[in-house]
Amino acid sequence: MSAAPEVSAAPDGRAPRRLLSSYRDLMAVPGFWRNALVGMISKLPPSMVTLSLLLLVGRDYSYGTAGLMVSGSAIGQGVTAPLRGRLIDRYAPRPVLLGCLTAYLTVTALLLFMVRTGGPVPVLLITAVGLGATAPPVAVMMRSVWCSAGEGATLTTAMALDSSMMGAALITGPVLAGWLSLSVSPVAPFFVTATLTALSVLLLLVDATAAPRSAAGAGRHWLGPLASPPLRRLLAASGLFVTAVTAVDVLLPLYAKEHGAGAYTGLYLGALSVGSVVGSFGLGAVPDLLAHGPKAFVLLIVFVLGTGALCLGTRLSPEMVLLLCPVAGLAIGSTFGTLRTIGGDLAPPGRMTETMSWLSSLDLAGGAVGAAVFAHFAAVRGSGTALLVVPAVALLAAVFGWGARTRAEPLTADANGSGATRG
């Protein structure tokens, strides 16, 4: 009788991991299902706000005013996100989250009242800014929760899952907001977002072990996470990456319009999102694939190649662009997840939520720059020409991503005790 075949070991001596075993390991982490539920619920409201505001304000005001409200909400959220993150890290998450929730629900009610009664535009703008500034940062905190709950391959899979859920929310959120606004009432999406926001806060706080711990005794350099040079490079990479992604989102609909393929607009963006979700899920299934080396750099180079292929597709036909959209989107979600994994790795002790908040703020800033600059560029030179610049921006993000190490050295006080330097 022949001997039973031996199972070959991995190069590092470990038994080879089966496909999807990383997801089974993640599901075995205590509190996984509740964390996954909170993560998904927390991502839906932000994905619904833009379209909900446009349809609500645009009904009684101009669409220019509606766009101003959307910009105000994004500015309010982006400018205050690091402050809210710092408060959560410094104090107990419960009072900060409940305070944000109370203010958020109040501002939402005030916004609806002002719109329905025809309030002045400056007041509407202030309430829109307040809507973004008071939003409880549950989605940001969930990245801190995953960083606390997982490590190694499990953390990579958790962040990939988080990115997949974000991609799914970006697809379903606008669809839900549009259906509620047009089929029920323009006010209905705000009741849904308020309910989901409150539910995500309560679910996160119902188990004290799930919320990130405050670190009152942690070092408090006034720059916070920005005192770390590798983290600053990571923030630059993230902002540039989101600029490039937003540029693609803006330019593809313009390309479809210029080439008489307006019916493809939704399909283009949907195909990008599908590619992003598939790529995130795939990397989560094989977390050791890029375990060694500059993972962010490699994924950003894949995105450069994908957008380059998209540029070639625009020279052929709208149908070819549609076929290449999933390829261009393949690295988007996994790059988001990887940048946040590295961000958690580089976060100074007791600064996890603030670090994740800075990443979110840079993402919002990159999105604003990408939308404004590339929309103007396309208006002057055409969408095809503007799209040629996107791979260059993504390549610049990769250069910064190369300099962001995946493992931070501990922060130590300088000789005067007034700063934080790398030991």
**The dihedral sign for the CA sequence 297, 302, 303, 308:** positive
pLDDT at 59 over 50: yes
Q: How far apart are CA 229 and CA 237, in angstroms?
A: 12
Q: Which helix (H) or strand (E) holds 413?
A: strand 411-413
Q: For 177, how many CA atoms within 13 A lie in the half-sphere containing its CB?
A: 23
Residues 6+ apart with CB under 8 A from 203: 34, 37, 38, 41
- Lowest model confidence (mean pLDDT) among 36-40, 47-51, 154-158: 154-158
pLDDT at 173 over 90: no
- Kindly indicate the confidence band of residue 312, based on its pLDDT and cuts at 50, 70 and 90: very high
Note the pLDDT tens digit of each residue in 197-235.
999 999 888 865 555 555 544 455 566 677 778 888 989
Q: How far is CA 130 from the centre of its chain?
A: 21
Q: How far apart are CA 421 and CA 220, in angstroms?
A: 12
Q: How far apart are CA 43 and CA 273, in angstroms?
A: 15
Q: Which helix (H) or strand (E) holds 420?
A: strand 420-422
pLDDT at 134 over 90: yes
Q: Which helix (H) or strand (E) holds 234?
A: helix 229-258
- Give me the percent of the chain exceeding a pLDDT of 70: 82
Q: Which helix (H) or strand (E) holds 123?
A: helix 121-133
Average pLDDT, the chain: 80
- pTM for the whole structure: 0.75
For 167-299, strand residue ranges (E) read none
pLDDT at 304 over 70: yes
Tell me whether residue 107 is exposed, middle or buried, using C-beta atoms within 10 angstroms of its C-beta: 0 to 12, 13 to 18, 19 or more: buried
**Buried b / exposed e along 38-67 (16+ C-beta atoms within 10 A):** bbbbbbbbbbbbbbbbbbbbbeebeeeebe
Q: For 154, how many CA atoms within 13 A lie in the half-sphere containing its CB?
A: 15
Q: Which residue has the tokens 């004290």?
A: 208
> Which residue(s) pair with 353 in the sheet?
none
Which of 63 and 177 is assigned the larger pLDDT? 177
